[in-house]
Amino acid sequence: MEIKIRRAVKEDCPRLLELVHELAEYERAPQEVTVALEHFIESGFGKEPVWWAFVATLHFTGADSPSLKEREFEGRAVGFALYYIRYSTWKGQAMYLEDILVTKEMRGKGIGKLLFDRLIEEAKEKKFNRIIWQVLEWNEPAINFYKKYNTQFDSEWVNCSMHV
C-alpha cells in the first residue's frame, strides 16, 4: 500500500467536506458544520483563496492484498490537513492549521504523520515562523500525537468568538 500526500484540488472539495463532517461528529458538534459546498470551493479555489490543503490518498500495487475496507478507499482522500495564513503584529505570518483528520478506518497507518510532516515542510518553504492550531482538551489521541512533535501547549489564552 502506498500513501500519497498531494495538494488538494477543486475536485477534492466534496470529499473534504465529508471528512469535515466526520471530524465534527468526532468532536461532538455535527450541527456546527454549516458551510455550503459552493462557499467551501470558492474559499479554497476562487480568485482569492483563503485556505490551502493537502490530502492523503491510498494506492495499491499488484503485490498488495488490501482488505475490503482499504480497497473501498483506493484513490480517495482518506485524510487531509487544511490551513490558512494567520498574521501576528508581534511575530508576522504563521500557518494556522484549521483541521487535520484521518478517516477512522485508516488511523494507525502513519497517515497523520505524513500529513503533519508535509505541513511542516510547507511552513518552512513559505518562511512562516510557526504553526498554530487548537486541540480539544479531551482529545487525548490528538494531544499525544502532537506531543511527539515537541509541541508547546498554551493554557493562558482563552478562545473567543461572536456571531455577526
- The 8-class DSSP code of residue 74 comes to B
- The 8-class DSSP code of residue 153 comes to P
| Tally of CA atoms within 13 A in the half-sphere of 15 that contains its CB | 21
Q: State the cell numbers at 8.
A: 488538494
Please pick, among 26, 84, 146, 149, the residue that the annotation labels catalytic.
146
Phi, psi of 76 (to 5 degrees): -95, 155
Give catalytic status of residue 84 as yes or no.
no
- Within 10 angstroms of residue 113's Cβ, the number of other Cβ atoms is 14
Contact 56, 115 (CB under 8 A): yes
Per DSSP bridges, beta strands 131-132 and 77-88 are: unpaired
Task: Name the 3-class secondary structure at 142.
Answer: helix
| Active-site residue list | 146
